[in-house]
Structure 1
Amino acid sequence: MTVEHYLVIGAGRMGGALLKGWLADPVSGVVADRLMIIDPHPGDDARNAITSGAVHLDATASDIGKKLAKVQTILLAIKPQGFAEIAPIIAPHLPQGALVISILAGTAMDSLRRAFPNQHVIRAMPNTPAAIGAGITAFTCDNGVSERQQRTAERLLKAGGTVHAVDSEHLIDVVTAVSGSGPAYVFHMVEALEAAAIKIGLPETIAGDFARQTIVGAGALLDRSSLSASELRQAVTSPGGTTQAALDVLMPELPPIMRETVKAALKRAKELAEK
């Protein structure tokens, strides 16, 4: 049986969270002494992994080729602006046919193929709740990715939460606009609800708690209920009541705003992918 070795390039918040999930879950197949990390400033989770036996590599070291020769699976989790610098250093030393899983926002499959011409590439888009195992990730496979490699990617990405395979790179950009950027939409809603609460008289000392917990609680209820979001909304909305009065204002405005919001994010995702 082949002993697999893994490499994480970029072990900040997202990369670190995923590797933490791997090491905590025996099903992942990843153990610390078969894990390598390239990051000049690793985050807390990566430092803990290194303490547990993971190898912290210097990408410029003279023996980097020898170290990387046994790696079968690579998670590319650096900031997108660092991609052009690190890829030419690493790619020549990776085994032919190794799997590269990229979670770089706005970095297109064509760019990944050019950077890793002798490897197989999967492009994935997680979102920030993946840092606590509550995210959702979409991934798409380049030609040549084996069924086994796809299963490996799905197993590793599940450390961040729910995982869906999609059949085109276009859908990765769509997912970026919906779930990738989506947490920021929710956080801004908390900001707006807090500001509105203060405006109508709720003390600033508690307005943030009421706004935050309203969203947290509603999300938890949505997660645990078998009802759809529409059904839950209807359940809390009494005809002629306070919620109905509020929704009479919100419902005509929110859907078109949300459509324009995700369209703007999608447009920018495509622009970044073309650079």
Structure 2
Amino acid sequence: MTRTVFVNGAYVPENEAKISIFDRGFLMADGVYEVTSVLQGKLIDFEGHAVRLERSLNELDMGMPCTMDELLEIHRELVRVNEIDEGLVYLQITRGSDGDRDFAFPDPETTKPTLVLFTQSKPGMANSAASQKGAKIISIEDIRWGRRDIKTVQLLYPSMGKMMAKKVGCDDAWMVEEGFVTEGTSNNAYIVKGNKIITRGLSNDILHGITRAAVLRMAKEAQMEVEERSFTIEEAKEADEAFTTSASAFVMPVVEIDGATMGDGTPGPIAKRLREIYLDESLKKAI
């Protein structure tokens, strides 16, 4: 089945989708993106992703090519026409192009941003085998640029980090800067010590995760203790359990960090409970 995708105002078959070779997203990674999960044919936390998208665009002085209501309708139509029950909607906005390559931004009055969306079907995402087994993590140096709070398409180093992990038989990498964990390659990182959930506080150093915000809110509502502070890999190895959060994997238990087994090597009770709460509560509010 050929997917229907959205490109600059039109729904087209994926094999007919076209973008200019001069688009700054292609030439300069001058763009931002969001990924919204779909469960039971409904969008999870769309509003949170929309708000963060607007913030990312504002931080880069980039225009929004449509209204948020229009963006929601595009998401829903792609889910409908591609018959997505469980999966993802990927959205990307770039600065577009005024016809040639230049380091200087094109005039926003005459250059319209490029808007692209497509879906990915992922049956079984809510009850994935990976979440039952847990993830194995390695640590790597964080050498990314300083504005990680902006969700840009500059994903080369995170991609390399995932490949570093796979080459040694692991699933993902946590990045470390000045001795402290910043985040995972595509997720926020957490440890649990004495029933206290610990995760790095928000700043320009990490992405302000939409799933992170929801999970921490739900944890507090469930009377779980949360502490937002930095932690080291050594502290993480000695923790009772660990996990990550992201829009595509929800709450993912971590069972190994740099070869050190977490607990008994199986997903911890707090991570499992948070995953259950998150999926249950998110589905109630899905649109």
TM-score, normalised via structure 1 length: 0.27
Larger Rg: 1
Structure showing greater relative contact order (alpha-carbon pairs closer than 8 Å, 6 or more residues apart): 2
The structure with more strand, counted as a fraction of residues? 2
TM-score, normalised via structure 2 length: 0.26
The structure with more helix, counted as a fraction of residues? 1
